[in-house]
Amino acid sequence: MTHASVETIIGERRSQPHQLIEVLQDIQEAHGYISQEAATTVSAHLGVPLIEVYRAASFYKALSLEPRGKHVITLCMGTACHVRGSHVLLDQASSKLGMDNGGTTKDGLFTVERVNCLGACAIGPVAVFNDVYHHHMTSAKLSSLIDAVLTAEKAGEADAQG
C-alpha cells in the first residue's frame, strides 16, 4: 500500500498554521499515526512550534503518536463506565489479545486503548470498535466482536493464499 507523503499532504493544504489539526488528521489517516519525523516536517512547513504539534497530537483522541493496529478498540474508563465494569472489559480484551493492559498486538492487528469519557455516560460502559460506538458493552459482546474480526482476518489470509 502506498501512502501520500507528509509533504504531499501538507502541499494539498495551504500550509497555514491554523490548518494544523486538518494536516495532522490527514497524516493520521494516511499513515496511521504521527511519527516524530512527520511532526518535525509539519512544524517546519506550517511554522508551528514543534511543542504545539505534539500538544495537538496528544490532545486529540483521533490522533496518535504511535502506530495503531488495523483494528482499534477504544474503551471508556471514565467514572460512569468504570463503575459499570469497563475495567473488566479492558482486562478481558487485553488477555484475549495477549497484551498487558491495552496497547497494540505484536502482529499489528489490534490496538486496545483507553479514554476518559466518550460523552455518553448514561449508556455505559461505552466502547468504540473500529469507529462504531457500542453502548452497554458486555464481555460477551466484546468477545464476539473480537472473534468476528479474527475470523474475518483468517478468512482473508486464506483467500490471499488462494
The stretches of the chain forming alpha helices (DSSP H) are: 6-12, 20-31, 36-46, 50-59, 79-83, 86-96, 139-160
Measured from the CB atom, the residue of 73 and 81 that comes closer to ligand FES is: 81
In this complex, which beta carbon is closest to ligand FES, that of residue 32 or of residue 124?
A: 124
Sheet holding 103-104, edge to edge: 103-104, 110-115, 71-76, 127-129, 132-134
| Residue whose CB is less far from ligand FES, 4 or 80 | 80
Q: How far is the CB of 130 from ligand FES (least distance, A)?
A: 18
Min dist CB 11 to ligand FES, Å, is 38
103 bridge partner residues: 112
Ranges within 95-134 binding ligand FES (CB under 6 A): 117-121, 124, 126
| Binding positions for ligand FES, rule: CB under 6 A | 76, 78-81, 117-121, 124, 126
